[in-house]
């Protein structure tokens, strides 16, 4: 009995906890160039103002919306229908934290970011603001997990948090789209907050997966490049470039290469294994990189049906065609990185720091400039190992 009394007096349970029903959980955050919504403008006309500049528009996706109750809050955003399983709330100002606190004037529950899954930033905003400025609050906020994924949007970022599917929560949908990386290397390894924090701190250039939207649907489409020394968006890579970037950095192990045979008919190679090696070489005082890409795969499709048995017998001709195509794709990517954007987002600097640390220390402060002038030689080894379930 004495032990029981001691336990009763010392175990206080979760006395400081907050019930989940009393919180507004947000799963998505979109950051755009500041454009007050019609609702915000109407509220301001009635005196709902505070000192600010309309620099940033922040949209949060609350879930589930039906837990919020009431009807007045739907007017805070026009992006969610009444029967959607989420509610998007938008605010405009010049401080992300201040915008978040302003939500407390419109919602009946405090917002909390423990379940934030994705952050989407518009490229237009990144032309004006630095990435480290926009991410400063979310990196400091203890509520937000460092595993939150960060993406770019070619259009308005808030549009990526809208879905035409009745039972779909867009933030969860974007997070789950990453799983398709097993099918195509056009889906990049997601960049999470903790990784991006390290990249920004070291002033290294990096690439983020880009999102495009149309008619309530969202799609991964290429990547955007964030320049290390400025923190601004400087350009985009298309889907083919993004696939090559994944192969070059060993983050992608699958994908297809499509080219045309001598009869101008499509033939398609499906990658089953891939390995890339980047080696730094010195020729006197000059630095150069040798890139070796080895892949094995399957001839999965050809539109020249009559010549298919011959293609099996003459696989070396097909291998040559695919090898030339892959080399062209890689050269196009390197050209953009070195000449157009002057930004190393493919890990060449990382390999140099490992293989030749003394040389890296001399050039790390201006590495993107050194990278843009460094010769890169690409060697491709491609082997067709099977031809699918073909029956003569």
Per-residue pLDDT tens over the stretch 157-213: 999 999 988 889 999 999 999 999 989 999 999 999 999 999 999 999 999 999 999
* Euclidean distance between CA atoms 347 and 278, whole angstroms: 9
Q: What is the pLDDT of residue 308?
A: 53
Tell me the two tokens of residue 361: 């220390």
Could you tell me which of 120, 145, 115 has the C-alpha nearest to residue 26?
115
Q: What mean pLDDT value characterizes the chain? A: 88
User: Phi/psi of residue 322, each to 5°?
Assistant: -70, -35
Q: Which residue has the higher pLDDT, 78 or 200?
A: 200
- When pLDDT is averaged across residues 308-332 and rounded to a whole number, the result is 82
Q: What is the CA 239 to chain-centroid distance, rounded?
A: 13
Predicted TM-score (pTM) of this structure: 0.87
Distances, alpha carbon 380 to alpha carbons 261, 274, 281, in Å: 19, 11, 18
For residue 390, what pLDDT band results from cuts at 50, 70 and 90? low
pLDDT in tens, 90-134: 999 999 999 999 999 988 888 999 999 999 999 999 999 999 999
Q: What is the pLDDT of residue 72?
A: 37
Q: What is the pLDDT of residue 23?
A: 78
For residue 12, what pLDDT band results from cuts at 50, 70 and 90? low
DSSP string, 120-180: EEEHHHHHHS-HHHHHHHHHH-TTS-TT-EEEEESS-GGGGG--SSTT--HHHHHHHHGGG
8 A C-beta contact, residue 271 and residue 256: yes
- 3-state SS, residue 332: helix
8 A C-beta contact, residue 132 and residue 191: no
Tell me the two tokens of residue 193: 């907050």
Angle between helices 131-140 and 193-201 (to 10 degrees): 130
Q: What is the pLDDT of residue 71?
A: 37
% of the chain residues with pLDDT over 90? 69
- When pLDDT is averaged across residues 282-305 and rounded to a whole number, the result is 88
């Amino acid at each position: 009995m004495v032990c029981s009394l001691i336990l009763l007096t010392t175990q206080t349970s979760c006395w400081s906890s907050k019930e989940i029903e009393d919180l507004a959980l947000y799963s998505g955050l979109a950051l755009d160039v500041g454009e007050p919504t019609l609702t915000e403008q109407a509220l301001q006309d009635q005196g709902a103002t505070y000192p600010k500049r309309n620099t940033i528009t922040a949209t949060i996706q609350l879930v589930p919306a039906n837990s919020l109750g009431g009807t007045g809050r739907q007017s805070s955003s026009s992006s969610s229908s009444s029967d959607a399983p989420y509610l998007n709330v938008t605010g405009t100002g010049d401080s992300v934290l201040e915008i978040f606190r302003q939500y407390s004037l419109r919602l009946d529950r405090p917002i909390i970011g423990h379940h934030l899954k994705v952050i989407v930033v518009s490229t237009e905003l990144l032309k004006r603001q630095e990435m480290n400025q926009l991410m400063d609050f979310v990196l400091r906020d203890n509520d937000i997990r460092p595993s939150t994924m960060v993406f770019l949007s070619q259009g308005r970022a808030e549009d990526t948090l809208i879905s035409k599917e009745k039972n779909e929560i867009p933030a969860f949908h974007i997070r789950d789209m990453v799983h398709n990386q097993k099918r195509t290397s056009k889906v990049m390894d997601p960049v999470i907050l903790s990784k991006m924090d390290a990249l920004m701190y070291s002033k290294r250039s990096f690439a983020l997966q880009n999102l495009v939207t149309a008619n309530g649907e969202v799609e991964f489409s290429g990547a955007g490049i964030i320049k290390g020394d400025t923190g601004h968006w400087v350009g985009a890579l298309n889907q083919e470039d993004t696939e090559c970037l994944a192969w070059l950095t060993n983050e992608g192990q699958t994908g297809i290469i499509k080219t045309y045979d001598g009869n101008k008919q499509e033939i398609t190679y499906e990658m089953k294994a891939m390995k890339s090696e980047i080696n730094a070489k010195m020729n006197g005082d000059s630095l150069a990189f040798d890139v070796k890409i080895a892949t094995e795969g399957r001839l999965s499709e050809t539109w020249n049906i009559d010549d298919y048995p011959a293609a099996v017998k003459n696989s070396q001709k097909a291998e040559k065609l695919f090898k030339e195509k892959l080399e062209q794709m890689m050269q196009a990517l390197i050209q953009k990185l070195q000449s157009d954007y002057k930004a190393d987002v493919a890990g060449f600097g990382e390999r140099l720091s490992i293989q030749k640390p003394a040389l890296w220390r001399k050039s790390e402060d201006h590495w993107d400039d050194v990278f843009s002038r460094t010769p890169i030689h690409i060697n491709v080894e491609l082997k067709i190992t099977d031809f699918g379930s073909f029956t003569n």
